[in-house]
Amino acid sequence: MLTRESPSGLGLVRAVLSAQPDAFVYAGARDPDSDGTEALNALVRAHPGRLEIVRCISGDEEGNTVLAERIREQHGRVDVVIANAGISNWFGRVEDTPIHQLTEHFAVNTAGVVVLFQAVYTVLKASAHPKFIPISTHAASMVLTLATPAGYTSYGASKAALNWIARKIHFENEWLVCFPLAPGGVDTDMAREGMAMDTTGALAAMMEGNTVPADVAALRLIDLISNATREKDGGEFIVVGGERLPW
């Protein structure tokens, strides 16, 4: 399995190592040698032979290709790729949104997933049961949150484009399980920072009482992904509980 983790959020790696004792995990980090990866290194020591920290920068074509080649050399294939790198650095109305913020969000949240998919395409296809799961959000729905005053302009638009990409990947690759997966309300640094940036208070109102700890959300995500099939889930917009979300 390949997933992208931040030093402050190791839930997916822990969940896989706990729930799937035979799994080998590649945990992507911007700088595997930095002090910020000490928590990941502690997991490497606790699970020898099951976890490797690898350089993985969203949108880095050369670096993603090198990563895929390393996976091919060591294991010949990758069974599951969770494309969970993402940013949410701006909240505001459309007329106030700096174009560089919009561009950066699309570069990371949308184009970065395409770069990763292109890089791992061959090693995914070598798997007997390949899954490529981009992590999306309720904010990407054109129905659920668009009318709220929360300033999702950059984040929501880039994730809505990601949903389109994920569904297109589904239709173009009959051998693959692919769908955008929304984790629901999760107590993360990104969520707390988003509430602080959203001066309307709408995001805080939506999140209040509706979040779960990151480790709990990670276990639910891994369980859903493990049981996902192309026939049942492929090309759908799914939330962590298994419900279908409107596009």
pLDDT of 108 reads: 96
Question: Could you state, in chain order, the average pLDDT of each consecutive group of 10 residues for the chain (247 residues)?
Answer: 68 90 92 77 92 93 97 98 92 95 98 98 98 96 87 94 99 99 84 79 78 87 96 97 95
pLDDT of 38 reads: 83
Q: Would you say the pTM of this structure is higher than 0.85? A: yes
pLDDT of 70 reads: 97
Q: Taking the domains of the chain in order of start, what are their residue ranges?
A: 2-239
SS3 letters for the chain?
Answer: CEEECECCECHHHHHHHHHCCCCCEEEEECCCCCHHHHHHHHHHHHCCCCEEEEECCCCCHHHHHHHHHHHHHHHCCCCEEEECCCCCCCCECHHHCCHHHHHHHHHHHHHHHHHHHHHHHHHHHCCCCCEEEEECCHHHCCCCCCCCCCCEHHHHHHHHHHHHHHHHHHHHCCCCEECCEECCCEECHHHHHHHHHCCCCHHHHHHCCCCEEHHHHHHHHHHHHHCCCHHHHCCCCEECCCCECCC
pLDDT of 244 reads: 97
CATH code of the domain made up of 2-239: 3.40.50.720
pLDDT of 165 reads: 99
pLDDT of 172 reads: 99
